[in-house]
């Protein structure tokens, strides 16, 4: 019993593989606590497993690429939720209600010409 899925967030992409095991999460060959030292990001990643009561039952191996640390954590969470769904379709209502199956489409807004940034304008003086 194994499942694979892809999760995305901002510019980060996560390829996730789930299989029966002891609850170990490997990210790019490193343990979760080593890859994401911040506890809030670790909790974010483990959310889908805790919601479906699989944190001690499934091993996760993930390959992350692109984006920053927060985007990668979000991509891993999205990939985990999709992989759990591939394992058992009965998880869909709980994952959907928690908003874990919806791709977060928010990305960085582009800089516009004639402006200093995406929203910030150049300084204007009347006299």
CATH number at residue 34: 3.30.230.10
110 in a structural domain: no
Give the predicted TM-score (pTM) of the model: 0.90
Instruction: Give me the domain span that covers residue 21.
Output: 2-96
CA–CA gap between residue 45 and residue 61 (Å, rounded): 12
62 in a structural domain: yes
The number of domains in the chain is 1
Closest among 94, 59, 99 to 78, alpha carbons compared:
99
- Confidence at 127, pLDDT banded by 50, 70, 90: confident
87 in a structural domain: yes
Q: For residue 74, what are the contacts with CB-CB under 8 A and spacing of at least 6? A: 7, 9, 10, 12, 44, 104
Closest among 82, 62, 83 to 73, alpha carbons compared:
62
108 in a structural domain: no
58 in a structural domain: yes
Q: For residue 62, what are the contacts with CB-CB under 8 A and spacing of at least 6? A: 14, 15, 16, 17, 25, 26, 27, 28, 76, 79, 80
CA angle 36, 40, 45 (to 5 degrees): 65
113 in a structural domain: no
21 in a structural domain: yes
What's the average model confidence in pLDDT over 84-100? 95
Count the Cβ atoms, other than its own, within 10 Å of residue 80: 28
126 in a structural domain: no
Share of the chain above pLDDT 70, in %: 100
What's the average model confidence in pLDDT over 100-127? 94
């Amino acid at each position: 019993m194994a499942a694979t899925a892809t999760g995305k967030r901002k510019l980060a992409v996560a390829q996730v593989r789930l299989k029966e095991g002891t609850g170990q999460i490997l990210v790019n060959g490193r343990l979760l606590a080593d890859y994401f030292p911040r506890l809030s990001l670790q909790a974010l990643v483990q959310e889908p497993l805790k919601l479906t009561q699989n944190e001690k039952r499934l091993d996760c191996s993930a390959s992350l690429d692109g984006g920053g640390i927060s985007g990668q954590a979000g991509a891993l969470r999205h990939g985990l939720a999709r992989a759990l769904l591939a394992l058992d379709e009965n998880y869909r209502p709980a994952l959907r209600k928690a908003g874990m199956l919806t791709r977060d489409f928010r990305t960085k807004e582009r800089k516009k010409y004639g402006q200093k940034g995406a929203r910030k304008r150049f300084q204007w003086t009347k006299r």
